[in-house]
Amino acid sequence: MDVCHAPNDIIALNFLTIRSLIPIPILLRICLFGANPQDLPASRQVLVLTIASAMIILFICYSALPGDRFVMPLTVAHIIAMGIVWVVLLKFHDQLKRWYQSATAIYGCTSMINLVQLPVVLKLIQQTSGAVNNSLSLTAVVVMLMWIWEIAVVSRIIQQTLEVKRFTSVMLSLTFTFAIHLALLQIFGDART
């Protein structure tokens, strides 16, 4: 009889189940410009699990930042704002049929990049608050490069999904990012985001 008795077996089984439902390798390849949103499954279940994972990652990121925040409402508002802005982009370009794959790519890739950025952003916050006396400029450059990477990934997802030119996709990527942050600023004020 082959039964899982150890808690580690259950955790490993759950991780394998999640890994099979969320296409992490494809999302990583999209982040590294080696795959396209069309390589993802067009599945509601995959999208829902990716959004749930994105909420967890955003919650972790917002919780780690200093300051007085309403972390859960901020997380939920961020996820909703991303969805609304993405639907508007798809609707405007008559590409709603690509919702599942493209939204999975947007939520999954931006969450992975946010998770990678978090330690560097925290280091920059420490340096600007005077808690660390290391070179501020190198950390600031790394944060800027990571932000450019995120814009490039979102731009590529937009280009592949909406079938637009590179310049248009970069402009839409910047608009997407700023629209989300503007919405969050309107809801939570500038001290909250």
Is 60 exceeded by the pLDDT of residue 131? no
Percentage of the chain beyond pLDDT 70 is 82
At 82, is the pLDDT very low, low, confident or very high (cuts 50, 70, 90)?
A: very high
In the numeric block, which tokens belong to residue 69?
Answer: 């925040």
Residues 6+ apart with CB under 8 A from 162: 89, 90, 93, 95, 169, 172
The closest alpha carbon to 169, from 116, 103, 93, belongs to 93
- Looking at every residue in the chain, the average pLDDT score rounds to 84
Tell me the pLDDT tens digit for each residue of 161-189: 999 999 999 999 999 888 888 888 888 87
